[in-house]
Amino acid sequence: MQETTGKYKFTYDWFKGNMPFWEKHLLHLKNEKINVLEIGAFEGRSAVWILEELFKNPESKLISVDPFEENFLDEGLNGKNYELTFRENVKKTGKEKQSEIMKSLPFEALTKLNYESKIKFDFIYIDGSHIAMNALADAVLAWNLLKDGGIMTFDDYEWDRYQTWRRNETYPKLVSERF
């Protein structure tokens, strides 16, 4: 399967359901100089939206964290290089200079960002691992990187596919009785 969204190429578009919410809660920031952090980049669907729609200010900056290793994906890509697809899609926005990739596991990237203490974010999107304990760890490590009044959001917060797919694993929302 290959979805083509205008000039961009996406094997899966997991992002479009977010658009009405992001338009409602984020677009008031579009002309401001903002910093955005996303955990989970895949082929760049959310990154392209951020660069195209949210970054009308040329000084805004996006950092995307992803190990870019296929074994972290739920859906196979048959060896297709999704880091390359991410880079190509970002390049097509013409805002490549506003995008930085941290190719690593989130805990490594988040530890580095906390240690360096050079940047805080207006918006943080947690969309890496959808297993509750991993999403919680990402959120805790990212919390200190959020500016006062900043927004943190989670993908698939109440998505329950893992309950049938992978018994005993949960979705991003922590449900206390499971632990």
Ligand X SMILES: C[S@@+](CC[C@H](N)C(=O)[O-])C[C@H]1O[C@@H](n2cnc3c(N)ncnc32)[C@H](O)[C@@H]1O
- Contact residues: ligand X, CB under 6 A: 14-15, 38, 40-43, 45-46, 66-67, 72-73, 105-106, 127-129, 134
CB of 103 to ligand X, least distance (A): 10
Rounded Cα gap, residues 163 and 64, in angstroms: 28
Identify whether the C-beta of residue 142 lies closer than 8 Å to the C-beta of residue 152: yes
Q: How many Å apart are CA 141 and CA 131, to the nearest integer?
A: 16
> In the Cβ-directed half-sphere of 87, how many Cα atoms lie within 13 Å?
8
Closest approach, Cβ 112 to ligand X, in A, equals 14
In 3D, which of 4, 5, 8 has the Cα closest to residue 95? 8
Q: How far is the CB of 15 from ligand X (least distance, A)?
A: 4
The contacts of residue 146 (CB under 8 Å, 6+ apart) are 120, 121, 124, 152
Q: Report which secondary-structure segment, H or E, holds 135.
A: helix 132-143
Cα(37)–Cα(175) distance, integer angstroms: 26
Q: How far apart are CB 116 and ligand X at their closest, in Å? A: 20
Give the residue with the Cβ less far from ligand X, 60 or 64.
64
Residue 3 or 59 having the CB closest to ligand X: 3
Taking the least distance from each CB to ligand X, the nearer of 67 and 172 is 67
Residue 52, phi then psi, degrees to nearest 5 = -75, -45
Q: Which is nearer to ligand X, 46 or 98 (CB)?
A: 46
Specify the residue, 21 or 31, whose C-beta has the smaller distance to ligand X: 21
Determine the Cα–Cα distance for residues 54 and 22; give it in Å rounded to an integer. 9
CB of 35 to ligand X, least distance (A): 17
